[in-house]
Amino acid sequence: MASTLSRSTILLLVSTLLLLLLPFFSHNITLSQNQLIIHSSSSSFSITFNTTTTSPPPIIINNISNTNDTIIPLKHSLDSFLSNNLSCVILICSEQIIKKKSRLERIEYDLAKARAAIRQAIVSKKFKSDKNETFIPTGSIYRNSYAFHQSHIEMVKRFKVWSYREGERPIFHMGPMSNIYAVEGQFMEEIESEESPFRAKYPEEAHTFFMPISVANIIKFIYSPVIYPSDYNRDRLYRLMNDYVSVVANKYPFWNASNGADHFMVSCHDWAPEVSHEKPRLFKNFIRVLCNANNSEGFQPKRDVSLPEIYLRKGFLGPLDLGQAPHKRTILAFFAGGLHGHIRRILFEQWKDKDSDIQVFEKLPEGLNYTMLMGKSKYCLCPSGYEVASPRVVEAINAGCVPVILSNNYSLPFNDVLDWSKFSIQIPISKIPEIKNILNDIPNEEYLRLYNNVSQVKRHFVMNRPAQPFDVIHMIFLTYPCSPPAKKAKIERLLGARPKFGGPKVPGGKLSSGLP
């Protein structure tokens, strides 16, 4: 033991000395992941390390003499090698130093490999995977099916998320599991599950950091009951969000390292976009995964992620499949819903209870089944309500009904990778009076193409627990700004060409209850 310690100490001292002298050696050095080669005018030496253990790596040293173009490896003992080739010892130290890259360097290197694989898939029009792929994305619904598929492969292989542990339920680590805000709670529970493949074991390996705060529960538990107009003041929402950032920034280095550019939240509540309004500079780079993806209200497609609003019945992950075959769909277009917002007011004025082909209801008559009517319709009208998102888009897709988007400034979900023009119709608000003519003018073969594409895209809007490949959970990360498959501009903004962030650093703080 003493002999080993002495040798290790000597090795460290000699290595340090040689690090200073290395520029004076006339050697060329080649370094790979687990092998180091030093070339001189007379000979070459290679050192191979076993890097799979934490104990001092065993060393195999080969002296490679080149005679008449024939490579002859000659084994040396460590003592012999050190005594005759001390300059090579520096390679041992160098290799260990190189392996201790910063977290950012490791992540950028990892994502660079992912980007290279995606580019290769685009050029070669082939995917590369270490396992058997059970689903191969093809068809016009994808902006580039080869990039999309390789992106998914790289994401599953590499992408890791750290969900902060701070905060107590029900405001943190808990969200609604049913109704129109269900995605918020389902995502939170999935990503914090021990079995989640995206869950980072420790924060240093994470590509991104999840802020497990539920806007829906803030409204439910802190704002209710709402009695006076002043009760709608957003100050408590601001305080909770600001305090949480302060707590995690004080405890961990990650927020201040990027000024929040690799941190995100997920919410379907209408108030969610406003969490950053009080301190816009603090949240300048913060990623918001939102159902309310309104470009006119601060949603930024190059930074934020548009999330589909999915209505889930209690105890269920989706609606019953009552969709009919195309030839059994006898209703041209259908909508039923409340009078929320100016777009629906226009729709009701033009079509409510006025046409058997364009069936528009504010309240569904007794005896009629909402999901069954969707399943019998060729097109489902999806007008925005008070906010741009509507659960009817996903409901239509699940029913095999071609969505007709009636909205202004709506950044459609997963638009980076899905081509919505291939499986939906978008009609300007000014054309609502012409809906019947517009839909009747679509040739039957074009309708069948849209119908088939809706059937194909359905898997990307399904909520599974646990999450399954290509489902809505995976799609969130496929369009996430710093995941391997995100579009190049987003990746380079965060990692490939990281900007000099100018936002304020966050001092330490305490987590408040949000109460006045």
Average the pLDDT over each of 8-17, 262-271, 444-453 and give the range with the smallest value: 8-17
Is 420 in the same domain as 455? yes
In sequence order, what are the residues at sequence separation of 6 or more whose Cβ sits closer than 8 angstroms to the Cβ of residue 494? 258, 261, 262, 481, 482
Range of the domain at 391: 326-461
**For a pLDDT cut of 70, what percent of the chain falls above it?**
74
* pLDDT, tens digit, 9 for 90 and up, residues 106-116: 888 888 999 99
Say if 507 falls within a structural domain.
no
Q: Residues 427, 382: one domain?
A: yes
pLDDT of residue 86 exceeding 50, the answer is: no
- Do 235 and 206 fall within a single domain? yes
Q: How confident is the model at residue 237 (pLDDT cuts 50, 70, 90)?
A: very high
Asked if pLDDT for residue 427 goes beyond 60, the answer is yes
> pLDDT band for position 4 (50/70/90)?
very low
Q: Is 72 left (phi over 0), alpha (psi -120 to 50) or beta?
A: beta
CATH of the domain at 344: 3.40.50.2000
Question: What integer is the mean pLDDT of 218-230?
Answer: 89
pLDDT at 231: 86
Whether 57 is in a domain gets the answer no
Residue 25: pLDDT band with limits 50, 70, 90: very low
- pLDDT tens, 467-482? 999 999 999 999 887 5
pLDDT at 5 over 80: no
Euclidean distance between the first and the last CA atom of the chain, given in angstroms as a whole number:
64
Structurally, the chain folds into a number of domains equal to 3
pLDDT score recorded for residue 77? 43
330-346 pLDDT per residue, tens = 999 999 999 999 999 99
The answer to whether residue 377 is domain-embedded is yes
Q: Say if residue 178 is in the same domain as residue 273.
A: yes
Q: Residues 189-209: what's their mean pLDDT?
A: 95
Same domain, 276 and 340: no
SS3 assignment, position 33: coil
Q: Are residues 138 and 258 both part of a single domain? A: no
Query: Is residue 306 in some structural domain?
Result: yes
CA 39, 45, 50, 54 dihedral sign is negative
In a domain, 16, yes or no: no
Q: Is the CB of residue 269 less than 8 Å from the CB of residue 215? A: yes
Strand partners, 410: 294
d(CA 465, CA 471): 10
What's the CA gap between 181 and 216, in Å, rounded? Answer: 7
Q: Residues 284, 368: one domain?
A: no
- pTM of the entire structure? 0.76
Do 165 and 247 share a structural domain?
A: yes
Kindly provide the residue ranges of all beta strands, DSSP E only, lying in 384-491, ordered along the sequence. 402-406, 425-426
200 and 303 belong to one structural domain:
yes
Q: Which pLDDT does position 306 carry in this prediction?
A: 96
Picking from 158, 176, 206, the residue at the C-terminal end of a domain is 158
Contacts of 153 (CB under 8 A, 6+ apart): 117, 127, 128, 129, 133
C-alpha to C-alpha distance for 273 and 289, rounded to whole angstroms: 9
8 in a domain, yes or no? Answer: no
Domain boundary (158, 178, 206) is at 158
Convert the pLDDT of each residue in 35-82 to its tens digit.
444 444 444 444 444 444 434 444 333 443 343 333 334 344 444 444
Cα 416 to Cα 372: distance, rounded to the nearest angstrom? 32
| Domain shared by 366 and 426, yes or no | yes
Helix (H) or strand (E) holding 361: strand 358-361
Neighbours of 408 (CB within 10 A): 13
Residues 189 and 231 in one domain: yes
Residues 423, 457 contacting (CB under 8 angstroms): yes
Asked if residue 50 belongs to a domain, the reply is no
Q: How confident is the model at residue 362 (pLDDT cuts 50, 70, 90)?
A: very high
pLDDT score of 38: 44
In a shared domain, residues 297 and 166: yes
Residues 6+ apart with CB under 8 A from 104: 257, 498
pLDDT higher than threshold 80 for residue 303? yes
Within-domain flag for 37: no
DSSP H or E segment with residue 62: strand 59-67
Rounded Cα gap, residues 362 and 351, in angstroms: 11
